[in-house]
Amino acid sequence: MIIVKDLTYSYPEADYPTLEGINLDIREGEFVLLIGPTGSGKSTFLYCLNGLIPHVFAGDIRGDIRINGISPQEITVAEISRIVGTVFQSPETQIFMLKVEDDVAFGCENLSLPKEEVIKRRDMALKEMGLLHVRNAETFNLSGGMKQRLAISSIYAMGPNIFLFDEPTTDLDSKGRGELLGIIRKLKEKGNTILLVEHQYEDFLPVTDRVIILENGKIINETKSFHSIRTVSRERRCFKGYSSEIDIQDLTFGYRKEKPILKDINLNIRRGELIAVCGENGSGKTTLLKIMAGLLKPDKGRFALLGFNNPAIEELIGRVGFLFQNPDEQLFANSVEEEIMFGPLQLKKKVDKEKYLKLANFNTVQKKHPQTLSRGQRQLLAILSILAMEPQVIILDEPTTGLDYNNLCSLFKILNTLVNENKTVIFSTHHMGVKEFADRAILLEDGRIVSDEIYK
Amino acid sequence: MRYISRATFFHHLDSRTKILMSLACACLIVILNTSFSLFGLFMILLAAFFSVKPPLSYIKITTYLMGMAIVATVISQGFFYYFEPRTPILTILPKDAGLIGKLTGGISICREGLVYGVVQSMRLFSATLLSMIIVMSTHPSDLILGLKRFGVPEKIGFMLTVSIRFLPVLAEEAKRILVAQRLRGLRIKGLRGSIRGFRFLIEPLIIDSLRKARRIALAAEVRGYTGKRTEIKKLHFFWMDWVVLSIVFFVIIVAVKNRFFYE
Amino acid sequence: MNSYISSIIFIFILGGVAFYTGVRRRLIKNFTVHELIVIALFCSLLYVAGLPFKFGLSRIPFIHTFAYSIPFTTVLFIGIRLVPKLGTATLIIFGHSLLSQIISRGINPLWWPYALLAGFVLELYFLLCRNYLGSRANALGAGILRGFVVYIYFYYISAPYIWHIFYAPWYISVQTLQGVIGSGIGALIGFSLSKPIISAYRHGGL
């Protein structure tokens, strides 16, 4: 039972409050979906409930929060963790131990429960979360979905009956999302109270009791059912070119020869196409994209790009742009404008900085350090920094990860601009509903192309 | 060099025994003085190494490391051995040749030095083999647990666990950043290139690590981490451990006696 | 002669252990969970920074010392600037040493005094200067001190008394000089790189 009255909170040194006048009652066993644009205060609200605010994050908190009658401000975070469990977005940074069963026991050990109790809870959590078969496995080798499951298990073992989820599906593919949905359903069936913050919330609507929309720190609308999914509008345009940009014939590739990841791929991509590559984790999407960017050499078969046969990276720099999954691994400079000009500077090319800043509305932030931007903005900046090198072919690995509605719109505006300039764009995605953006969607399963649909 | 799960004698030993064995062997490597005893130690460790059933790649790496060790030691001691008798067999720079000759006292290779180098490299071999044996047969979390039982504080043990847990994550990230650099046209060949490459590697890597550190800390907080916790993992001593420890203890006593009391 | 040296080592180890158990237990409470994790990740980062040197990529023996000192000191000093407290330097250096031992070199307590010495020397320097790498001069001094102490200890104590391997004084001077210059350069690079990192850290909600 969560009661929130007039909650107002500002981060230290902030000009305006992140949360303003929040009033909310959540009944026991309810499933509440919390949505809203990035920066609206959703994560901040969760932190007020689990005690991270004010114990870890300082700042000015006002108003009253009662969880089962107790205020999180009056007890320690460790004590609250017995009632309220929190699962964050990135599974990697929620796992501490080297072995699965040790990590599940970690939370209970921290509560200083007696040994037998810890062992009992650990075994129960392993069983209920379906991790018994991997209990002795190394945590490093688990898939994304399994890692998130492990993170949830370690919280579950601590015995809370309120669960907070902060964008837990962002780093997962659809298989992982499906598994997570199953676990969340199970938690709900056991009568736990669940508060879920998500951008990709369509899958969860069937189990949701209530949807709350947060914008600029205020609750703007509260409805019992919420069905419309605003889709990003798309201007359709016609193909301009028919010349073959990328030609792949009978391609096979594996990081180890005995274990091929891509098998007998045949693919022809024309100039000016916008292509979505879909598939589960492990289907070979990223590997295919890397081969197309010249980062990997095929074991068998032919690969031609822009007229080069089996090109090396050096031949493709400046002609092919590749965006990795994590934008933070590609930001090198100390200001936004420096970042955009970084690539052209290395290639000694002259480009119009303003043009690129305008594409993502970055004119107001051009002097800021890239790391001070939000995740979605850093993603867009990484894309711009590659586009500034004016490549002919642009390949993006999971560019939609972690983008809210507004940033997704910006992304597709940029991609449409590129395609209208007759550039070829290829991207991989887990995001459902996004493949309709593309002209063509390729589905990979177990290293083979199983479908190649053209939308016109 | 990673832990490999097998069922050998060393795998079954308690990690505390292995830590004590490490310490004992380390002492032996320092104390033993005759070529016979050093060679004996080397042979015993070689047998132990093979008993842990290393894969071919590890055998290759070990051979490479030992090869480098012996070459480096033989050459350096060939030059720098300064006990008498000293018979130079090749003089690079005589004693009185110019300023460098005077400062260094002449640079020459002597035969006794070469022989000495071969004998001393046994120590390096033993250390290399010992480290391989321990690393291959003991899981890092068991080693940390063993260290904690010996008195290393809990927070340090936690810190070590986190470092080991995230090391492969950071190493992979560093590799990806290097590729991203190349794709942005950054040329990292040559000295200047390496410096630039390093600078553009360190900054994003550290910033992303700080970001991870924040998230890991929040995850630790919501898991109730305060520094105090119940440990459910147990370490057991089997009879094999006692046998090994007694043998090791005995050997150390004999070595110390021979070295310090019979000279 | 030998017993004299053994006793020095013994005293040092004892002193180190006493310092370690006595002072550390109180000091460790001073670090928040977040700081401990930053330090832990810096131990891993030090290891990653040293990886190209492990597999013979730059193993030209003569300038190897110089080449390795630079990235090591750079990363170490950035870490110290991020958590400017008493004990950070020792925790990072010793943590890195234990980490390397656990995952590749094998537990060898004979190397612990070496790592602890490197840490203690820096702590003492910071205590005396009342300055945790707050200025470029302070950083340069710390770098030079670190390089000097570490290499002198290695060539005069570790090498002869642990490995029984001797080096001529001129060689030791050359290597130590390289170590000193390398650490100094690393310190300056670390200091300048840490500025944008720290400002991003403070203002970027990292």
Q: Please give the full DSSP string across B67-130, using - where no structure is assigned.
A: HHHHHHHHHHHHHH--SSS--EEEEEE-TTSHHHHHHHT-EEEEHHHHHHHHHHHHHHHHHHHH
Q: Looking at CA atoms only, how far is residue C38 from chain B in angstroms?
A: 6
A237 domain residue, yes or no = no
Tell me if B141 and A98 make a contact (CB, 8 A cut-off): yes
Cβ atoms of residues A426 and A432 within 8 Å: no
Cβ-based neighbours of A297, under 8 Å, separated by 6 or more: A253, A291, A310
Q: Looking at CA atoms only, how far is residue B162 from chain A in angstroms?
A: 6
Which range, of A79-83, A126-130, A184-188, A410-414, averages the lowest pLDDT? Answer: A410-414
- CA C108 – CA C97 distance, rounded (Å): 10
- CA C189 – CA C74 distance, rounded (Å): 6
Higher-pLDDT residue of B261, C73: C73
Higher-pLDDT residue of A242, A5: A5
Q: Are residues A29 and A138 in the same domain?
A: yes
Residue range A303-307: average pLDDT? 83
- CA A104 – CA B49 distance, rounded (Å): 34
Tell me if A372 and C196 make a contact (CB, 8 A cut-off): no
pLDDT at A223 over 80: no
Query: Which one of A223, A254, A282 terminates a domain?
Result: A223
Q: Are residues A215 and A349 in the same domain?
A: no
B226 contacts chain A (CB < 8 A):
yes
Cβ-based neighbours of A140, under 8 Å, separated by 6 or more: A98, B165, B168, B169
Tens-digit pLDDT profile for residues A356-371: 888 888 888 888 888 8
Tell me if A369 and C206 make a contact (CB, 8 A cut-off): no
Tell me if A372 and C205 make a contact (CB, 8 A cut-off): yes
Query: Which one of A173, A188, A223 terminates a domain?
Result: A223
CATH number of the domain encompassing residue A323: 3.40.50.300
Within the 105-164 window of chain B, which residues sit less than 8 Å (CB to CB) from chain A? 139-141, 161-162, 164
Residue in B211, B221, B226 nearest the CB of A52? B221
Which of the four pLDDT bands, split at 50, 70 and 90, describes residue A224?
very low
pLDDT at A228 over 60: no
Tell me if B217 and C37 make a contact (CB, 8 A cut-off): yes
Question: What subunits touch chain B, counting only 3 or more CB pairs under 8 A?
Answer: A, C
Could you report how far apart the first and last alpha carbons of chain C are, in Å?
55
Q: For an interface test with B, which of C41, C171, C197, C198 has the most B Cβ atoms less than 10 Å from its Cβ? A: C41
User: Residue B70 burial (CB < 10 Å; 0-12/13-18/19+)?
Assistant: middle
Q: Are residues A289 and A365 in the same domain?
A: yes
For B154, the token pair is: 């809990």
Q: Are residues A191 and A54 in the same domain?
A: yes
Q: What is the CA radius of gyration of chain C?
A: 17
Q: Are residues A315 and A400 in the same domain?
A: yes
pLDDT at position A225: 42
Cβ atoms of residues A271 and A424 within 8 Å: yes
A88 domain residue, yes or no = yes
Higher-pLDDT residue of A44, A314: A44
A435 domain residue, yes or no = yes
Nearest C-alpha neighbor of A33 from the set A203, A157, A279, A174: A203
Q: Are residues A383 and A258 in the same domain?
A: yes
How many domains are contained in chain A? Answer: 2
DSSP reduced 3-state for A259: strand
Cβ-based neighbours of C42, under 8 Å, separated by 6 or more: B209, C75, C76, C78, C79, C82, C92, C95, C96
Residue numbers in A near C34 (CB within 8 A): 56
Query: Which one of A191, A223, A255 terminates a domain?
Result: A223
Residue numbers in A near B208 (CB within 8 A): 326, 328-329
Residue in B187, B208, B233 nearest the CB of A328? B208
A235 domain residue, yes or no = no
Residue in B186, B215, B230 nearest the CB of A346? B186
Residue range A229-246: average pLDDT? 58
pLDDT at position B214: 93
Nearest C-alpha neighbor of A10 from the set A54, A51, A61, A45: A61
Q: Are residues A260 and A201 in the same domain?
A: no
- The CA-CA-CA angle for residues A88, A91, A97, to 5°, reads 115
Cβ-based neighbours of B88, under 8 Å, separated by 6 or more: B108, B109, B110
A321 domain residue, yes or no = yes
Q: For an interface test with C, which of B4, B32, B206 has the most C Cβ atoms less than 10 Å from its Cβ? A: B206
Residue in C3, C44, C74 nearest the CB of B202? C74
B233 contacts chain A (CB < 8 A):
yes
Residue in A56, A334, A372 nearest the CB of C203? A372
Residue numbers in A near C204 (CB within 8 A): 369, 371-372
Tell me if A93 and B219 make a contact (CB, 8 A cut-off): yes
Residue numbers in B near C78 (CB within 8 A): 202, 206
pLDDT at A231 over 60: no
CA dist B242 → A90, A166, B21, B41, B247 (Å): 45, 51, 12, 21, 9
Tell me if B185 and A389 make a contact (CB, 8 A cut-off): yes
Q: Which residue of C has its CA nearest to B103?
A: C170
Q: Which residue of B has its CA nearest to C197?
A: B207
Q: Which residue of C has its CA nearest to B173?
A: C48
Residue in B139, B183, B229 nearest the CB of A322? B183
Q: Are residues A278 and A141 in the same domain?
A: no
DSSP state of A28: T
DSSP state of A284: S
Question: Which residue matches tokens 């109270």?
Answer: A193
- CA C166 – CA B51 distance, rounded (Å): 34
Residue numbers in B near C41 (CB within 8 A): 162-163, 166, 170, 209-210, 212-213
Q: Which residue of C has its CA nearest to B121?
A: C163
Inter-chain Cβ pairs, chain A and chain B, closer than 8 A:
146
Which of the four pLDDT bands, split at 50, 70 and 90, describes residue C1?
very low
pLDDT at position A165: 95
Inter-chain Cβ pairs, chain B and chain C, closer than 8 A:
183
Helix (H) or strand (E) holding B245: helix B239-256
Cβ atoms of residues A402 and A375 within 8 Å: yes
Inter-chain Cβ pairs, chain A and chain C, closer than 8 A:
14
What is the four-CA torsion angle of C176, C181, C187, C189, rounded to 10 degrees? -140
Q: Which residue of A has its CA nearest to B184?
A: A343
Q: Are residues A326 and A355 in the same domain?
A: yes
Q: How many percent of chain C have pLDDT more than 70?
A: 79
- The CA-CA-CA angle for residues A39, A40, A42, to 5°, reads 100
Question: What subunits touch chain C, counting only 3 or more CB pairs under 8 A?
Answer: A, B
Could you report how far apart the first and last alpha carbons of chain B are, in Å?
40
Segments forming the whole domain that contains residue A106: 2-223
Residue numbers in B near C60 (CB within 8 A): none
Nearest C-alpha neighbor of A47 from the set A27, A68, A28, A22: A22
DSSP state of A81: T
For B74, the token pair is: 């033989």
Q: Mean pLDDT for chain C?
A: 80
Residue range A128-157: average pLDDT? 91
A231 domain residue, yes or no = no
DSSP reduced 3-state for A41: coil
What is the four-CA torsion angle of A94, A98, A103, A109, rounded to 10 degrees? -110
Successive 10-residue mean pLDDT values, chain B, 263 residues: 79 87 85 83 90 88 85 80 71 69 70 81 86 88 89 89 94 91 80 78 92 94 89 83 88 83 63
Q: Interhelix angle for C169-203 vs C136-153, to 10°?
A: 140
Tens-digit pLDDT profile for residues C159-204: 777 777 778 788 888 888 888 998 998 999 999 999 888 888 877 6
- CA C109 – CA B27 distance, rounded (Å): 9
Q: Are residues A155 and A271 in the same domain?
A: no
**Which strands form A193-197's sheet, in the order they lie side by side?**
A84-87, A162-166, A193-197, A31-35, A210-215, A218-223
Question: Is the preceding peptide bond at A54 cis, omega within 30 degrees of 0?
Answer: yes
Q: Are residues A219 and A109 in the same domain?
A: yes
Tens-digit pLDDT profile for residues A422-439: 889 999 987 666 666 788
Residue numbers in A near C35 (CB within 8 A): none
Tell me if C103 and B26 make a contact (CB, 8 A cut-off): no
Task: List beta partners, residue A8.
Answer: A62
pLDDT at position A9: 92
- CA A60 – CA A7 distance, rounded (Å): 11
Nearest C-alpha neighbor of B144 from the set B233, B81, B55: B233
User: Residue B99 burial (CB < 10 Å; 0-12/13-18/19+)?
Assistant: exposed
> What is the DSSP annotation of B182-196?
HHTT----HHHHHHH
Question: What subunits touch chain A, counting only 3 or more CB pairs under 8 A?
Answer: B, C
For A369, the token pair is: 């350090």
Q: Are residues A151 and A298 in the same domain?
A: no
Task: List beta partners, residue A9.
Answer: A19, A61
Q: Looking at CA atoms only, how far is residue A419 from chain B in angstroms?
A: 21
pLDDT at A103 over 90: yes
Domains plus CATH for chain C? 2-203 (1.10.1760.20)
pTM: predicted TM-score of the whole model, two decimal places: 0.89
Cβ atoms of residues C104 and C74 within 8 Å: no
